[in-house]
């Protein structure tokens, strides 16, 4: 252990306490939701206190995280009205003094797969925070971490079924933003389940695309291709033409795949790596080295279909 690491470990209780104090102050200022983000973001950036080239021990981050979240549990959680209250309003009939529940449609951005009973946060967790703030914090939510505690909290935050925060939206779909963060965290199975709670693929082009991406990543290319064939007729997004090239080639429809690839060229798709890789999939060249410029759901599925492994320089 280096001198620096000894010093960090010896200061573990102090640093962890400092982080929990910062989180507590944020709880007081902006409420439960933003404080959860604070616990994630502050602990995520805390290795910056280390000297260049030396990261603080992971146990330090977990200790700080645990103290911060215990502080949240102790006094920050808002009242829990129960999951059934989402998307409903209550009205009173003065003449009979009877309260009735009026069921409203649920905002797609409010859907989730977790409730408090199965590890989720309260359904009113966004209360007290503006939508603009929450959407901004979602963009910055750290997903690339080795900390099991942070991974767990991030997953719970993104999958909780909760009423949307008040205020004007800054993005087209808060659900799509949550899905993007889940995909960045490698949680394709969770994305499939989450999007499965929405009403249908045509509701949001962004959600439909995220659904296809998640299905490809989860290994369900049949469902992804079924969706792609629907969307290629309904959307101008070139993503669906790209998916059609892949799906038709996988199905042995080389003519259909070639037509879709030709349309991509005609429409000026600026993705030379995909065009080259998909052309090689349609018409393989013996002994030719497959060039992969980067990985995404479609490229990964093409490599699978071709029986090729991920190049070492890409998978590293």
User: Each residue of 172-212: pLDDT tens digit?
Assistant: 888 888 988 888 888 888 988 888 887 654 457 778 888 89
| pLDDT for res 271 | 94
Contact 237, 250 (CB under 8 A): no
Question: Considering the entire predicted model, what is its pTM?
Answer: 0.61
Closest CA to 19 of 56, 132, 7, 3: 56
| pLDDT for res 48 | 43
For the record, the structure tokens of 240 come out as 């669906």
- Give, in degrees to the nearest 5, the angle at Cα 179 between 178 and 182: 90
Q: How far is CA 274 from CA 19, 43, 283, in A?
A: 45, 37, 14
Give the residue ranges of the chain where pLDDT is below 70: 1-106, 199-203, 313-316
| pLDDT for res 112 | 92
List all residues 6 or more positions away from 131 whose beta carbon is below 8 Å from its beta carbon. Answer: 164, 165, 166, 167, 168, 169, 170, 174
| pLDDT for res 211 | 86
Q: Where are the alpha helices (DSSP H) in 143-237?
A: 148-159, 174-184, 188-195, 205-217, 221-234
Closest CA to 261 of 247, 245, 240: 245
């Amino acid at each position: 252990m280096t001198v620096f690491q000894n010093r960090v470990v010896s200061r573990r209780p102090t640093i962890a306490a400092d982080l929990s104090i910062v989180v507590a102050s944020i709880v007081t200022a902006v409420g439960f939701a933003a404080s959860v983000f604070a616990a994630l973001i502050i602990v995520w950036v805390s290795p910056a206190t280390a000297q260049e080239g030396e990261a603080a021990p992971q146990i330090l981050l977990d200790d700080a995280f645990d103290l911060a979240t215990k502080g949240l549990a102790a006094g920050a959680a808002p009242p829990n009205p129960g999951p059934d209250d989402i998307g409903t309003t209550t009205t009173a009939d003065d003449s009979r003094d009877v309260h009735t529940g009026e069921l409203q449609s649920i905002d797609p951005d409010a859907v989730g797969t977790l409730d408090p009973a199965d590890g989720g946060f309260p359904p009113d967790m966004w209360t007290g925070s503006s939508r603009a703030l929450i959407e901004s914090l979602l963009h910055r939510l750290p997903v690339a971490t080795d900390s099991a505690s942070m991974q767990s909290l991030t997953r719970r935050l993104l999958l909780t079924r909760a009423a949307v925060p008040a205020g004007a939206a800054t993005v087209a779909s808060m659900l799509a933003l949550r899905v993007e963060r889940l995909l960045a965290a490698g949680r394709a199975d969770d994305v499939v389940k989450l999007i499965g709670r929405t009403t249908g693929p045509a509701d949001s082009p962004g959600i439909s695309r995220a659904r296809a991406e998640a299905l490809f990543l989860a290994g369900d290319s049949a469902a992804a291709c079924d969706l792609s064939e629907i969307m290629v007729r309904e959307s101008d997004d070139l993503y669906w033409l790209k998916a059609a090239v892949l799906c038709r080639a996988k199905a042995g429809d080389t003519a259909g795949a070639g037509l879709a690839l030709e349309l991509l060229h005609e429409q000026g798709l600026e993705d030379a790596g995909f065009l080259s890789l998909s052309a090689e999939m349609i018409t393989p060249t013996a002994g030719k080295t497959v060039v992969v410029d980067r990985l995404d759901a479609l490229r990964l599925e093409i490599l699978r279909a071709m029986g090729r492994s991920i190049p070492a320089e890409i998978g590293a």
